[in-house]
Amino acid sequence: MKSVSSVDIKERKKVEEELRLLSQYAQDAIIQMNSDGLITYWNKSAERLFGYTEKEVLSKNLHSLLAPQRYHKAHKIGFSKFKKSGQGAAINKTLELEGIKKDSAEFPIELSLSAVQIKGEWNAIGIIRDISKRKKIEQKLRDSEEKLRTLFDNINDAIYILDLKGNFINVNATACKRLGYEKREFLQMHIHDINAPELIAENPQLIDEKLWIVKDIVETVHVAKNGKKIPVEIYGKQSLYQNEPAIIAVSRDITRRKITEKQLKESEKKYKILSKELELILDNIPALIFYKDTKNNFIRVNQYIADAHNMKKKELIGRSLFEIYPKDQAQAYWDDDLEVITSGKSKLNIEEPWETKDGLRWLLTSKIPLIDVNGDVARIIVTSIDITERKKGESLKRIFTEKLEKEVQYRTKELNDALEKQKLYLDQIEKSSRFKTEFLATMSHELRTPLNAIIGFTDLLLEGIFGKLNEEQLEYIKDIDESSNHLLDMITNILDISRIESSQVTINIEKIQLNNLIDNVISTLRPLYNEKGLIIDLKGLKKEQLIFADRIKFKQIIYNLLSNAIKFTEKGKVTFEFRDSKDMWEFIVKDTGIGIAEKDFNIIFKEFKRVKSAYVDSIPGSGLGLALTKRIVNLHEGDILFTSKLGKGTAFTFTIPKNLSSKVNLEKIVKSFLSKL
């Protein structure tokens, strides 16, 4: 061991003195260790920092004041090498370590060690600084940087950082995602690589060529890697980036906004068209259509109402009802409006008067409230139809209907009265007809008896049974005979007609040999036609021709027709023709006689009617023959008609149905069957 010289002592004392002095002013902890690492000096700041007094730490190893996790670093302070050379890994370095306070609390420190040789022995001087505050600030910085980065990458807007020439320096994740480039690709690109070329050409002011600054917020179009065009809104500003001047541009994707704007424009366009169409429709509807605000002013009107008031549509707008209509009428309209405004409910089909330039008219009006978002009535829509004509029509119709009803009532009464009268007449007619028939039947019967007696006695007289008559007596008796026979014929005919009319006569169908019957009639008439020199011609008559009819009555028909033909024919011939048709037999009696004038056609079948002419008058007759003939034909369910030409001749045709016999037989069977029930 070396002896300590006075100089050394002096020297040491001097150093110690300097150190102590220094340590008084030092903010940092200053400690001294010997070559074994034991603490030999501990200043006030060290005491304050670690909580140990100098006394407590002297001869302690520095390691015990350092946190074990940092120990390996502290270990580097290893003093074995240091002892000899004053060299150590930690010497002349600043280490960041964790110190341990007396109360065991750990805190960050910065330790700087330097070697000092004192009396040939290496000592270490350590300066320890509490770096808690710095560490905290650093952490905060790191945190905020982290936040910024997160924000940078997660913000919905794309952020481009460009140098002043327009080259990309940095971009955020949104930019990459939106345009489809990777960050490293961006860093090789220029802002013009993403700007739509046509837009740059159209708007050269879009980007300042010199500075590449977007002067204001502008809308432009960016082109993605895949060529997709994306409308954006971009704003750029010159700033510092990593201490270099740069342009920071923020771009927002406005695709959705553009779509919305487009939709809005389209809907505006549609609305305009719709509004035009609506106006056109409203103007062409023949009704008053308008809407008003709740203060009684017109907001919109159609052409009809404008025309009605001789005004232009725009002249009406903003006006109140009271400026257009007489006060009373305007008030009445307004009262209805107020009802709609306060109740919020429509008023439909109000009939109201309407004062126009052409006079008073009538309207059928409906008022409908338009409710706003707050549920209040904002407008009233009014539609009115002019019902003046309809009203007029209605009152006319009413008057007409009333008149008609009265007329109908009156006429019905008249008709009823007439019907009543007619019924009475019919009753009377029926009564008198019955009376007439009965009367005629009785009278005919009553007359025939004495007449038959007259004829009988006359015949006896003529035959000279009561003595020979002189010329004159014979003459008179012949007259009596002729007249009596005529009277008897007439009475017989009247009786027959009456019987047929009162349905007292039935026909008795028999099989008739037509040839025989015709021959029989003709031979009866022979004296008559021989006298005149007339020819009787028979046509269509087959031998043994059979027909079915009531023998007596059928004979009467033939007799009447043939006798008439002979009576009214002076020369020529009388033809009887028979025709066998499908369902009936036809009989025609034709003559070449005087004929019948057309004007007399309607009297031929009427009772007691004869054609008025000197010739007819000269021929005896009663005008009953054809009336009876027709009835007999009808009894056989046949028809009779004639054709005639005055001076040329006449042809009577009558028919008898073939099935008459079966019909009559059937009737008979049914009748007898019924009578037996």
Q: How far is CA 592 from CA 260, 317, 574, 658, in A?
A: 114, 102, 7, 30
Min. distance of Cβ 665 from ligand ADP in angstroms? 32
Among 565, 633, 640, 660, binds ligand ADP (CB under 6 A): 565
> At how many degrees (to 10) do helices 625-635 and 471-501 cross?
30
- Which positions ≥6 away from 182 have C-beta within 8 Å? 176
The H or E element spanning position 588 is strand 584-591
Q: Cβ 486 to ligand ADP, closest distance in Å?
A: 10
Identity of the residue, 514 or 624, whose beta carbon is nearer to ligand ADP in the bound complex:
624
Smallest separation (angstroms) from ligand ADP to the CB of 574: 9
Nearest to 590 by CA among 539, 546, 639: 539
* Phi, psi at 59, each rounded to 5°: 75, 5
Contact with ligand ADP (CB under 6 A): which of 32, 592, 650, 655? Answer: 650
Q: What are the angstrom distances between the C-alpha of 455 and each of 460, 462, 486? A: 9, 10, 11
**Cβ-based nearer residue to ligand ADP, 185 or 600:** 600
Of the pair 234, 604, the CB lying nearest ligand ADP is at 604
594 is a site residue for ligand ADP (CB under 6 A): yes
Site for ligand ADP in 601-630 (CB under 6 A): 604, 610-611, 616, 621-627
Min dist CB 565 to ligand ADP, Å, is 5
Q: Does 493 bind ligand ADP (CB under 6 A)?
A: no
- Shortest gap between Cβ of 464 and ligand ADP (angstroms)? 32
Q: With binding defined as CB under 6 A, does residue 126 bind ligand ADP? A: no
Residues 526-545 that bind ligand ADP (CB under 6 A): none
Q: What angle do CA 395, 398, 404 make, to 5 degrees?
A: 140
The set of long-range contacts for 521-530, using a CB threshold of 8 Å and a minimum separation of 24, is 521/555, 521/558, 521/559, 521/562, 522/562, 522/576, 524/559, 525/559, 525/562, 525/563, 525/566, 528/563, 528/566, 528/567, 529/566, 529/574
Nearer to ligand ADP, 232 or 624 (CB): 624
- Residue 633 lies near ligand ADP (rule: CB under 6 A): no
Q: How far is CA 117 from the centre of its chain?
A: 114
Using the minimum distance from each CB to ligand ADP, give the nearer residue, 369 or 593: 593
Nearer Cβ to ligand ADP (45/650): 650
Bridge partners of 98, per DSSP, are 108
Whether the Cβ atoms of residue 650 and residue 642 lie closer than 8 Å to each other: yes
CB of 559 to ligand ADP, least distance (A): 11
State yes or no: residue 557 binds ligand ADP (CB under 6 A).
no
Among the listed residues 296, 564, 575, 655, the single contact to ligand ADP using CB under 6 A = 564
Quote the tokens at residue 242: 């990593």
Minimum Å gap between C-beta 584 and ligand ADP is 22
In whole angstroms, the minimum distance from the beta carbon of 610 to ligand ADP comes to: 3
Alpha carbon distances (Å) from 481 to 448, 451, 474, 567: 14, 10, 10, 20
How far, in Å, CA of 406 to CA of 401, rounded? Answer: 8
Nearer CB in complex with ligand ADP: 89/536: 536
Residue 44 phi/psi, 5-degree rounding, is -65, -40
Closest to ligand ADP by CB, 172 or 493 = 493
Q: Does 43 bind ligand ADP (CB under 6 A)?
A: no
Q: Between residues 384 and 556, which has the closer beta carbon with respect to ligand ADP? A: 556
CA distances from 506 to 428, 499, 518, 550, 558 (A): 27, 10, 23, 9, 19
Q: Can residue 251 be called a binding residue for ligand ADP (CB under 6 A)?
A: no
Cβ at position 585, least distance to ligand ADP in Å: 21
Give yes or no for residue 584 binding ligand ADP (CB under 6 A): no
Minimum distance from CB of 588 to ligand ADP (Å)? 12
Q: Is 575 in the site for ligand ADP (CB under 6 A)?
A: no
411-431: b (≥16 Cβ within 10 Å) or e: eeeeeeeeeeeeeeeeeeeee
Q: How far is the CB of 470 from ligand ADP (least distance, A)?
A: 33
Determine the Cα–Cα distance for residues 617 and 612; give it in Å rounded to an integer: 7
The DSSP result for 652-670, as a single string, is: EEEEEETTHHHHHHHHHHH
Q: Which of 126, 593 has the CB closer to ligand ADP?
A: 593
Q: Which of 28, 386, 550, 591 binds ligand ADP (CB under 6 A)?
A: 591
Q: Does 550 bind ligand ADP (CB under 6 A)?
A: no
Is 562 among the residues that bind ligand ADP (CB under 6 A)?
no
Q: Which is closer to ligand ADP, CB of 321 or CB of 626? A: 626
Nearest to 574 by CA among 597, 550, 594: 594
For the bound state, the minimum distance from the C-beta of residue 510 to ligand ADP, rounded and expressed in Å, comes to 25
Q: Which two tokens stand for residue 515?
A: 């040839």
Contact assessment for residue 164 and residue 211, using Cβ atoms and an 8 Å cutoff: yes
Place of tokens 């035959």: 463
651 binds ligand ADP (CB under 6 A): no
Please identify, using beta-carbon distances, which residue of 410 and 608 lies nearer to ligand ADP.
Answer: 608
CB nearer ligand ADP, residue 631 or residue 636: 631
Choose one: 102-110, 161-169, 375-383, 590-598; the region binding ligand ADP (CB under 6 A). Answer: 590-598
Is residue 565 helix, strand or coil? Answer: helix
Residue whose beta carbon is closest to ligand ADP:
621
Minimum gap (Å) between residue 416 Cβ and ligand ADP = 42
Q: Could you tell me which stretch among 24-32, 115-123, 313-321, 588-596 binds ligand ADP (CB under 6 A)?
A: 588-596
Q: Is 593 in the site for ligand ADP (CB under 6 A)?
A: yes
DSSP letter for each residue of 121-162: EEEEEEEEEE-HHHHHHHHHHHHHHHHHHHHHHHSSSEEEEE
CA distance 53 to 46: 8
* Three-class SS state of 497: helix
> Residue 369 or 625: which CB sits closer to ligand ADP?
625
State the residue for tokens 């960016």: 222
**Shortest Cβ distance from residue 625 to ligand ADP (Å)?**
3
CB nearer to ligand ADP: give 550 or 591. Answer: 591
10 Å CB burial of residue 389 (0-12, 13-18, 19+) is exposed
> Which residues lie closer than 8 Å to 541 by C-beta, 6 or more apart?
514, 515, 518, 576, 578
Two tokens, residue 56: 């407590």
Look at the alpha carbons of 599, 604, 605, 610 in this order and tell me if their dihedral is positive or negative.
positive
Using CB under 6 A, pick the residue from 247, 509, 596, 660 that binds ligand ADP: 596
Does residue 378 contact residue 331 with C-beta atoms inside 8 Å? no
Q: What is the smallest separation between the CB atom of 571 and ligand ADP, expressed in angstroms? A: 13
Instruction: CB nearer to ligand ADP: give 261 or 570.
Output: 570
Q: Smallest distance, Å, CB 668 to ligand ADP?
A: 32
Q: How far is the CB of 614 from ligand ADP (least distance, A)?
A: 12
How many residues bind ligand ADP (CB under 6 A)? The answer is 19
- Give the bridge partners for 91, in sequence order: 113
Q: Which is nearer to ligand ADP, 383 or 592 (CB)?
A: 592
For ligand ADP, the binding residues (CB under 6 A) are 564-565, 568, 591, 593-594, 596, 604, 610-611, 616, 621-627, 650
